[in-house]
A and B are shown apart, each in its own frame.
Chain A
């Protein structure tokens, strides 16, 4: 089974802190994604990556950056956390090999910025 893990289930940070959210997948997927989910707004794509060191902006990249140094790991970075970045963050991965393209999600990180 595909497994996508995220470094923390819950995280509390202060305004202005630099925050790292880590995501690891174990199925050699080339595509990885970061979403945030907020009540009433649904899932919104922040960034995605289709290969090591490659990244693409999603719909709401402002205030975030990403890093993909290894194929299995995709990091989301909040350079200077703000209260409006309090949210549920979800990581996902998929592969275009084999025609399936099914997207698999991690358990999520609930981030609170005080």
Chain B
């Protein structure tokens, strides 16, 4: 069974810093990997989706990389702002040759980020 781990569990930084959030997974046979953001008491917002054939994806100040062979992904946040404060979750979808997965994701526990002014 796929296990997804996110380090650190919590992070508190001053505004303006560049950040790296880490995600690791135990089975490298993945179809894709998705990063989400969750504000307190809210649903998940999709940030970036990386297909297994891709190395990275970028959206604004966010950049996500994927090293499938080593079972790792990183989310890089440039020039952090207080509005970036949220929990960031990583999720992987197993590849289809691991059996019928029907699109289910395996989630990490998240990194709770606080950016203070």
Contact = CB atoms under 8 A, between A and B. Distances in A.
A105 B43 contact: yes
A105 B33 CA distance: 16
A64 interface: no
Interface in A38-72: 42-43, 45, 48, 50, 56, 58
Main secondary structure of the interface of B (DSSP, over half): strand
14 contacts: A33-B104, A42-B107, A42-B109, A45-B104, A48-B102, A50-B103, A101-B93, A102-B34, A102-B46, A104-B46, A105-B43, A105-B45, A106-B43, A110-B41
Interface of A: 4, 31, 33, 42-43, 45, 48, 50, 56, 58, 88, 90, 92, 94, 96, 99-108, 110
Interface of B: 31-32, 34, 36, 41-46, 49, 51, 89, 91, 93, 102-105, 107-110
